[in-house]
Amino acid sequence: MRVEVEEKVLSENDKLAIGLRERFARDKVLCVNLISSPGSGKTALLERTLEILPKTARVALLTGDLQTENDARRLARAGFPVKQITTGDTCHLDASMIIKALADWDLAGIDILFIENVGNLVCPTSYDLGEHAKIVLLSVTEGEDKPLKYPSIFAIAELCIINKIDLLPYVPFDLERAIANARHVHPGMEIVQTSCTKVQGLEPWLAWIERRRAQVMAE
């Protein structure tokens, strides 16, 4: 008799991500991984979020780009701890980069860790960073077909943020179709609509953070 034994071969990144997930669970840190094309508004969303959160919130941020400290500088203005990860030629963050960046931070003193991934709708999708949730941003200048063209990130992201809705009068973007496309690849997907320049629509996003944070505390 032959018995088929199927074993999932964990990649080196998966193993490191398991360690990160255990650390986040132990210290009750909600870790959120923001993913989008370059320029969709990841940094802008975080800037607005940090302006709204109480100054006493125990929030920290890691932000990834190929080059420059620009985003870390933008985010640091709010006064929360932030570190830039520059990846050189690499189109995504991986778990080893997160471990290195967290080396001199005490996770017990952090309640929410936001990770802004490198701008890319493909590569970051397949890298587990030990996060609780991946969030995908789609801005209205990118076209409503992107969920269909890049389904993987929309399929696994817990929340989709459609950003730059202030530009809807000026660009040919079919909002209803974009929502239908996202829900085609991810039935029932939670979708919020924001403008980070006009500071509109952020309440459901803040409520999402609150809800996920409560879940982490209860685990």
Ligand X SMILES: Nc1nc2c(ncn2[C@@H]2O[C@H](COP(=O)(O)OP(=O)(O)O)[C@@H](O)[C@H]2O)c(=O)[nH]1
Q: Which does residue 195 bind out of ligand X, Mg ion, none, counting CB within 5 to 8 angstroms by kind?
A: ligand X
Q: Which does residue 96 bind out of Mg ion, ligand X, none, counting CB within 5 to 8 angstroms by kind?
A: none
Q: Which does residue 44 bind out of Mg ion, ligand X, none, counting CB within 5 to 8 angstroms by kind?
A: ligand X
Question: By C-beta, is 157 or 196 nearer to ligand X?
Answer: 196
Residue 111 C-beta: closest distance to ligand X, Å: 23
Residue 215 C-beta: closest distance to ligand X, Å: 26
Name which of residues 27 to 56 contact Mg ion (CB under 5 A): 42-43
Task: Please name the residues in contact with 4: beta carbons below 8 A apart, sequence gap of 6 or more.
Answer: none
Residue ranges of the alpha helices (H) in the chain?
12-26, 42-52, 70-76, 95-102, 146-149, 151-156, 175-185, 203-218
Question: By C-beta, is 24 or 114 nearer to Mg ion?
Answer: 114
84 contacts Mg ion (rule: CB under 5 A): no
Start-to-end CA distance of the chain, whole Å, equals 43
CA–CA separation, 123 and 134 (whole Å):
13
Closest to 42 measured CA to CA, from 150, 118, 133: 118
- Total residues binding Mg ion (CB under 5 A): 3
Q: Which two tokens stand for residue 158?
A: 């817990």
Residue appearing with tokens 């879940």: 215
Question: By C-beta, is 11 or 86 nearer to Mg ion?
Answer: 86
* Residue ranges binding Mg ion (CB under 5 A): 42-43, 71
